[in-house]
Amino acid sequence: MKPFYCKLILILLALVVSTSCGSGTSETSSHSDKPASVVTESQSVTAFPVVIKDDRGLEVSIPQKPLRIVSLLPSHTEILYAVGAGKQLVGCTTFCNYPAETKQLEKVALSNPGSVSLETLVALEPDLVFLGGDYQRLLAEQLTKLKIPLLSFESQSVADIERSIRGISRSTGHAQVGEELIEKIKKEIAAIQKRVEPFQKQRRPRVFYQVWDQPLMTAGPTSFIGELIDLIGAENVFEDVKIAYPQVSEETLIVRNPDVILMPLTKKAGASDLSETISELRERPGWKKMSAVKNQRIYLIEDDLISRPGPRVVLGLQKIAQALYPEAYQPHSSSERTQ
């Protein structure tokens, strides 16, 4: 009797221990594109120490799971929450507005790299700081001098999203969730692309993204927005301009006659602004006869969705797709998912 119960208790204990630790990370496939990459572990607690190579080319060793993370880039903040590291965050910038939990975080900077309050940052005693690549290069040097552990990942293009998610998830002890998120994003992007593909057969929609009106500025093909437009299979009417956010000629726009005009929906604007915007564009001399204006194919897209290379890129892409291929999103058309 006694030995049997002992074995039973031992087995029960083993089961309890293994299930509680089984929710940790387990590397099913390690991507070998990162040479100095990660140790595959199945327990999150033994995922550390870990060595991550960031976009500066430096290998940073993370001794243990960071619990006091500061993120200095809104897109990285979103990634942190998406991979489940939200509770490990203690600080971010005033521009990190998604998700709502960011409100509780201490703000150490405004939206530009020069506005970081190093004192506030240091007072938070962070054990890991996430930066946004070359954009915050000087800041990286400053923090390195202060011996604050940091990882810097570029956040300019769609490819950067994958690397950022991977790097952030691994360094915070959520490697598995990170990989799943990457897969999910890839699948969803592919799904959107597939959905709109049939409607590209006759003609790719020609789109103009207006960043600003006076002077007329647009997003070129090298910008993030330009990349999204390309991803969705549309044609940027200014794809021959290789500047990220160039000032462009109004005349050329009229000649090139886009089918769709996209504009950012700023936080201050409200829902009624769409009709105001449409009538304002129609008032603009010379724009009245543009296809986009005549057919009222003018759409406002929330700025954060399409300017942050982060997990919500899918949502942004979807909104662009809905704007460019309305037929693909009609209720009666066959689709895997509704809005």
Partner 1 sequence: MQPRQLILVWRMIPLVGFLLAAIIVGIHLGAVELSFEQIWQGLLNPSDASYVDTILWQIRMPRVILAACVGGGLAVAGAAFQGVFRNPLADPFVIGASSGAALGATLALLWMAGSVTVITATWQIPWLILSAFIGAILVVCAVFMIAALSNIGRNAPLLTLILAGMALSSFTGALVSLIMFLNHEMLTAIFSWLLGSFSGRHWNEIMMAGPVILGSGCLLWLMSRPLDLLSFGDETAMTLGLSISKFRMLILIAATMCTAACVAVSGVIGFLGLMAPHMTRIILGPRHGLLIPGSCLLGATMMVVADTLARTIIAPAEIPVGIVTAMMGCPFFLFLLVSRGQQTK
The residue ranges that bind partner 1 (CB under 8 A) are: 95, 110-112, 114-115, 211-217, 238, 240-241, 243, 245-252, 254-255, 257, 266, 268, 280, 284-286, 289
Q: Which is nearer to partner 1, 255 or 271 (CB)?
A: 255
Residue 323 beta carbon to partner 1: minimum distance, rounded to whole angstroms: 20
Q: Which is nearer to partner 1, 30 or 247 (CB)?
A: 247
Q: Which is nearer to partner 1, 67 or 254 (CB)?
A: 254
Task: Tell me which residue of 107, 110, 111 sits closest to 124, measured CA to CA.
Answer: 107
Residue 283 beta carbon to partner 1: minimum distance, rounded to whole angstroms: 8
Helical pair 158-171 and 224-231, crossing angle rounded to 10 deg: 110
Q: Which is nearer to partner 1, 76 or 170 (CB)?
A: 76
200 phi/psi in degrees, rounded to 5: -95, -5
Q: Which is nearer to partner 1, 90 or 263 (CB)?
A: 263
Three-state DSSP class for residue 129: strand
**Hey, how many other C-beta atoms are within 10 angstroms of the C-beta on 98?**
18
Residue 258 beta carbon to partner 1: minimum distance, rounded to whole angstroms: 13
Residue 286 beta carbon to partner 1: minimum distance, rounded to whole angstroms: 4
Q: How far apart are CA 190 and CA 210, in angstroms?
A: 26
Residue 284 beta carbon to partner 1: minimum distance, rounded to whole angstroms: 8
Q: Which is nearer to partner 1, 37 or 236 (CB)?
A: 236
Residue 256 beta carbon to partner 1: minimum distance, rounded to whole angstroms: 8
Query: What is the Cα Rg of the chain in Å?
Result: 24
Query: Are 192 and 86 in contact, with CB atoms under 8 Å apart?
Result: no
132 phi/psi in degrees, rounded to 5: -105, 45
Q: How far apart are CA 217 and CA 249, in angstroms?
A: 9
- Residues making up the chain, counted from first to last: 339
